[in-house]
Amino acid sequence: MEMTLRWYGSKFDTVTLKQIRQIPGVTGVITTLYGKAAGEVWSREEIHALKEETQAAGLHISGIESVNVHEAIKTGSPDCNEYIANYIETLENLGKEDIHLVCYNFMPVFDWTRTELARVRPDGSTVLAYTQKAVDDLNPEKMFESISNDMNGSIMPGWEPERLAHVKELFGLYKKIDEDKLFENLTHFLKQIMPVCEKYQINMAIHPDDPAWSVFGLPRIINNKKNILRLMHAVDSPHNGVAFCTGSFGTNLGNDLTDMIHALKGRIHFAHIRNLKFLSPDNFEEAAHLSSDGNFDMYEILKALFETGFDGPIRPDHGRMIWDEKAMPGYGLYDRALGAAYLNGLWEAIQKNAKKGERHEVK
């Protein structure tokens, strides 16, 4: 396991590489060329420059999140193979620069969806939150507007203004796409990119749908154990894997997170660890990483990762906004640093206990 932090690049992030370097145990960043639109090729030079900047700060690139997938690929439109060719070129350039992990998602139109970006918790911190009622009562354009007013001057991933401009058009594209068709388009994409992933040993890590059910009537396919295993079997290469996001799969209380981790043994290439506090099954808010602050047992989650031999990067996902920090909601420094320290502590204890167990067995 390697502890990492997500970093959006010096042009977009309020958090600096220098600060990240000072979080105990964090050795790498999960980053991206944030200014790139989905479908654009990433040149080797651009990737190299990002790598150099990271290395100059004493860190390294542990993975990319995200190389976004163009809607043409998701909808299987006639020009989808052109976009797949671009994606392959980007993967090739990443491979040549020795980058071996790429996180992506296959959610139609929206990336993740939250209905509030600054819900106040009892301790005065603010967090991202979701209520199904808010989604049911709003049309998607209105929601885009209210979310973008609340981003603390940042551009949140999945809520870029370009998307807002095309939201109606994008909904139109999905009129004829049901879950089976979306799944077919995803497997087509993966089968096309697997050869380049094999050549450069790139692990693809799909991010689950967040929340793990359909929003605004759009199809969603990466939302539970059955569906994620279906994808793992449909393209049965170790390079076709998962970014196990506890806060996304965990939005559905019917998902047993530790059981899913065991079922996905060997295919989890990356983990996003965050905690949720449920007020009801369809009204939840993001909590501190500490188990007792939310509904998830972080010890059991990390133990399941440890037991299945997980050796990829973990990043503490979405933090609360605390200590008057002004940053992209979910992506401030303070609470994610606390999260990293806590998760590192749990991991150390799990590791040491496992060693003790081995010694007892030998006796």
Interface with ligand DNO by CB under 6 A: which residues? 65-66, 103-105, 111-112, 157-158, 207, 272, 330
Q: Is 60 a residue of the active site?
A: no
- 207 or 336: CB nearest ligand DNO: 207
Contacts of 109 by beta carbon, 8 Å cutoff, 6+ apart: 71, 140, 163, 167, 170, 171, 174, 216, 218
Omega of the bond leading into 148 within 30 degrees of 0 (cis): no
Read off φ and ψ for residue 245, nearest 5 degrees. Answer: -105, 110
Q: Which residue out of 272, 289, 293, 334 is catalytically annotated?
A: 272
- 103 or 321: CB nearest ligand DNO: 103
Q: Is 79 a residue of the active site?
A: no
The structure tokens 């809607």 sit at 71
- 243 or 350: CB nearest ligand DNO: 243
Q: Which residue out of 245, 269, 289, 293 is catalytically annotated?
A: 245
Q: Is 317 a residue of the active site?
A: yes
Q: Which residue out of 100, 239, 269, 318 is catalytically annotated?
A: 318
Q: Is 207 a residue of the active site?
A: yes
Q: Is 318 a residue of the active site?
A: yes
User: Amino acid identity, residue 67?
Assistant: V
**C-alpha distances in angstroms, 240 versus 70, 234, 304?**
18, 10, 20
Closest contact distance (angstroms) between CB of 104 and ligand DNO is 5
Residue nearest to ligand DNO (CB): 66
Q: Which residue out of 207, 239, 269, 289 is catalytically annotated?
A: 207
Closest contact distance (angstroms) between CB of 160 and ligand DNO is 11
| Strands in 121-192 per DSSP E | 126-131
Half-sphere exposure of 191 (CA within 13 A, CB side): 11
Which one-letter DSSP state was computed for residue 321? B
What is d(CA 22, CA 37) in angstroms, rounded to the nearest whole number?
A: 31
Record the tokens describing residue 71, joined without a space.
């809607």
Record the tokens describing residue 72, joined without a space.
């043409």
Closest contact distance (angstroms) between CB of 206 and ligand DNO is 8
Closest contact distance (angstroms) between CB of 94 and ligand DNO is 15
Q: Is 13 a residue of the active site?
A: no
Closest contact distance (angstroms) between CB of 215 and ligand DNO is 14
What is d(CA 146, CA 109) in angstroms, rounded to the nearest whole number?
A: 17
Record the tokens describing residue 229, joined without a space.
């295993």
Closest contact distance (angstroms) between CB of 112 and ligand DNO is 5
- 154 or 187: CB nearest ligand DNO: 154
Active site residues: 207, 245, 272, 317-318, 331
